[in-house]
Amino acid sequence: MLALASTLINQNQFLLHKNPNLNLFTKRNPKSLSIRLSSRLKEPERSPNSEEREEELLRSSISFPVIKARKRVVLVRHGQSTWNEEGRIQGSSNFSVLTKKGEAQAKTSREMLANDAFNVCFASPLNRSKRTAEIIWGTRDDEMIFESGLREIDLYSFQGLLKNEGEKKFGAAFQQWKYDASNFNIDGHYPVKELWSRARNCWTKILAHEGKSILVVAHNAVNQSLVASAMGLGPEYFRLLLQSNCGVSVLDFIPRVEEGTPHICLNRLNQTPSSPIAALNSESRKSYKRIILVCDVSTENNIKVQEAGDCLGAESAPQNVEMKQMPNLQVEYMLSQLNKARNYNLVSINFFYQTKGATDYSQLQPGWLNGVDDEITTQLWTQSEKAWNSILDDLSDEPTSEKNVVVVGHPALHIALLVHCLNLKKELLGSFHLDGGSVSVIDFPNGPAGRGVIRCVNYTAHLGRWAIPVTIN
């Protein structure tokens, strides 16, 4: 441990898997960094609010059309617009266009998605999104469909105002838009609730297309609503799933053996060419507290401290490094018991592994936790709940200073932590996917007592694997 601490202190920049191309931590480092390693914990009591959460999820869930084959939908937000640059409220207005930076962002996205074979592109008809879609689509011959339902959120009288003008002119209504957006009312409308309804209609049209690999280019708020509504999350999740300019999010739709609404898995959220660690704010609010989840697929039950150091690497670290360690959660042991006891289940679900009967958990496919035995997921859930609370306690130690907590652990553990962050039920574990070596980031702009904002999920660009939102052949 001392050797690892020395490495971190004496170097200038953190890297994952010793990859020289990774630039997660910039010169603007937080004052304190806490590294926690996944470890063994006793099972705590179940959350007393689980039944209430179940009822809430049932109210906000939607039915999707039956699909016969797996589909992958890749969502992209438009590049920076002139009104983004000015700090002007755009809504569904159509006066702004891409800036030079926005055009460059779209061209970078085109390069990074160049090897993906999409069947169709759905796009918002608004200028900033349409132009982004045209740049990304390039010389492809496949059809582009401009869908009005994919326009940005309708903000009525707010549209066209600078943000400080909106605050002066609308006062309490603007404060509600900032802090209670799901109940925000203007001109007799509830914009966020209307947006969620529109997103559901869009999904019906998108999934009705025969293509298996679908590109959707739209906007910040509408992409948030598409991701959230697909996962059964209501308007109260607005602004909790970040969408940066030209950020890429990926959703997998996996048919059920018994038909009905498909399994839906968030394969990744808000992957951008730039580092998710470099930005220190969420939705224009400075974030002093942050959790960074680094996935490590180990072949042993214990994740060693030195292995964690190798995973993070070091070229530039904060000056003050606080080393912490948690007992092993034995995630791999639980899953190995499942593999022995329920192997017939593993080989019967075609999206479980890339190869039938595989036991390499780095090869797990999106949605694999949907087929895991309830006894195993209950163990994972109850143990990870205690780990989550412990991490939040760590963030609360220094309420006014910047602090990062880095958690290195098995993808199953980190999926559970993401689900806890969003205050969901364990039945939603199968709705997230993480690859080995990936990074996920949670910001707390209002402190650890506030709601966590998911900055990114399953970020892998630093590994040279941008193609992991690969299209389906």
CA atoms within 13 A on the CB side of 212: 11
CA dihedral 82, 84, 89, 93 (to 10 degrees): 50
Q: How far apart are CA 423 and CA 454, in angstroms?
A: 12
Lowest mean pLDDT among 201-205, 208-212, 266-270, 437-441: 437-441
Measured from the Cβ of residue 3, the count of other Cβ atoms closer than 10 Å reads 10
pLDDT grade for 286, boundaries at 50, 70 and 90: low
Q: How far apart are CA 252 and CA 266, in angstroms?
A: 6
pLDDT(133) > 80? yes
pLDDT(359) > 90? no
Q: How far apart are CA 391 and CA 437, in angstroms?
A: 20
Q: Tell me: is residue 78 an annotated ligand-binding position.
A: yes
How does the average pLDDT of the chain come out, rounded? 77
Q: How far apart are CA 398 and CA 268, in angstroms?
A: 31
Q: Is 92 left (phi over 0), alpha (psi -120 to 50) or beta?
A: alpha
Q: Tell me: is residue 151 an annotated ligand-binding position.
A: no
Nearby residues of 90 by Cβ (< 8 Å), 6 or more positions away: 81, 83, 84, 96, 128, 152, 155, 159
In this structure, are residues 437 and 389 in contact, taking their beta carbons and an 8 Å threshold?
A: no
Q: What is the pLDDT of residue 334?
A: 61
Q: Tell me: is residue 163 an annotated ligand-binding position.
A: yes
In this structure, are residues 87 and 163 in contact, taking their beta carbons and an 8 Å threshold?
A: yes
AA letter at 366: P
Helix 331-341 to helix 374-396 angle (10° resolution) is 170
Q: What is the set of domains in the chain, with CATH numbers?
A: 2-51+283-463 (3.40.50), 65-260 (3.40.50.1240)
- Triad 100, 102, 104: Cα angle to 5°: 70
- Higher pLDDT: 369 or 327? It is 369
C-alpha dihedral sign at 406, 409, 413, 415: positive
pTM more than 0.95: no
* Mean predicted confidence (pLDDT) in 176-184: 96
Given 51, 134, 152, 420, which residue is catalytic?
Answer: 152
* Mean predicted confidence (pLDDT) in 13-27: 34
Q: How far apart are CA 338 and CA 132, in angstroms?
A: 45
Exposed e or buried b for every residue in 326-362, given b needs 16+ CB within 10 A? bebbbbbebbeebbeeeeeebeebebbbeeeebeebe
Q: Tell me: is residue 272 an annotated ligand-binding position.
A: no
Q: Tell me: is residue 82 an annotated ligand-binding position.
A: yes
Q: Tell me: is residue 371 an annotated ligand-binding position.
A: no
Q: Tell me: is residue 77 an annotated ligand-binding position.
A: yes
Could you confirm whether 414 is annotated as catalytic? no
Q: What is the pLDDT of residue 329?
A: 59
pLDDT grade for 395, boundaries at 50, 70 and 90: confident
pLDDT tens track for 57-71: 434 456 788 898 999
- Higher pLDDT: 369 or 42? It is 369
CA 43 from chain centre, in angstroms, equals: 27
Given 17, 54, 78, 427, which residue is catalytic?
Answer: 78
Q: Tell me: is residue 290 an annotated ligand-binding position.
A: no
C-alpha dihedral sign at 122, 125, 129, 130: positive
Cα 327 to Cα 35, 40, 42, 377, 381: the distances in Å are 13, 4, 9, 19, 16
- Triad 414, 389, 416: Cα angle to 5°: 25
Q: What is the pLDDT of residue 434?
A: 92
In this structure, are residues 218 and 150 in contact, taking their beta carbons and an 8 Å threshold?
A: yes
| Residues facing 72 on adjacent strands | 213, 252
Lowest mean pLDDT among 63-67, 138-142, 339-343: 339-343
Nearby residues of 251 by Cβ (< 8 Å), 6 or more positions away: 72, 73, 75, 226, 227, 230, 264, 265, 266, 267
Could you confirm whether 152 is annotated as catalytic? yes
Cα 93 to Cα 84, 216, 229, 299, 342: the distances in Å are 13, 19, 23, 53, 54
Identify the three-state secondary structure at position 359: coil
Of 428, 426, 415, residue with least CA distance to 454: 415
